Amino acid sequence: MVSRRGPLKSAVPSNVVSPVRRCSRTACGRPAVATLTYVYADSTAVLGPLAAYAEPHCYDLCAEHSERLTAPRGWEVVRLTDPSAPVRPSGDDLEALANAVREAARPQERAAEGGGKGPGPRGPGGPTEGGRRGHLRVLRSPEP
């Protein structure tokens, strides 16, 4: 808007309108990742993925507040998961990964028999290849 004196400038910068939705909790400015809706008829609080649009009867929550959410006594909390969200690895996944790394670190039986891809020098005085599994390779330092 232009006045007779020139373009109008705001004396106070405004950060009220933001393209990123923020957590609804007081004094929390973190980005929202989930939407909380209360179903009063069923005494249920539903926490799901961030809604496409901000609704006046829903509350947007950041990751920390959505994880710590509790409901009043007698109410049930229903947590809906977002299928497109990355899934945290379970204890079984981490154990399987650790076992695969341990097995890759062991010399293969074929290498001990002298056949196949056995350990060999990688250069004068350089490390030797101890075993190979897929794209993983174990390198050992030469013994003194």
* Nearest CA-CA partner of 25 in 53, 67, 73: 67
What average pLDDT does range 101-120 have in this prediction?
A: 60
What average pLDDT does range 46-70 have in this prediction?
A: 91
Measured in residues, the chain has a length of 144
Quick one: pLDDT at residue 67? 92
Q: Which residue has the higher pLDDT, 59 or 129?
A: 59
Which of 42-51, 90-99, 104-113 shows the highest mean pLDDT? 42-51
Give the list of residues 6+ apart from residue 121 with CB closer than 8 angstroms, or none: 128
Burial of 46 (0-12, 13-18, 19+ CB in 10 A): middle
Is residue 118's pLDDT more than 50?
no
Q: State both tokens at 104.
A: 């890759």
Lowest mean pLDDT among 43-47, 60-64, 87-91: 87-91
What average pLDDT does range 26-52 have in this prediction?
A: 92
Q: What is the pTM of this model?
A: 0.47
Is residue 124's pLDDT more than 90?
no
Summarize pLDDT for 10-21 with one digit per residue, the tens: 555 545 555 688
Q: Which residue has the higher pLDDT, 125 or 27?
A: 27
Which of 89-93, 128-132, 137-141 shows the highest mean pLDDT? 89-93
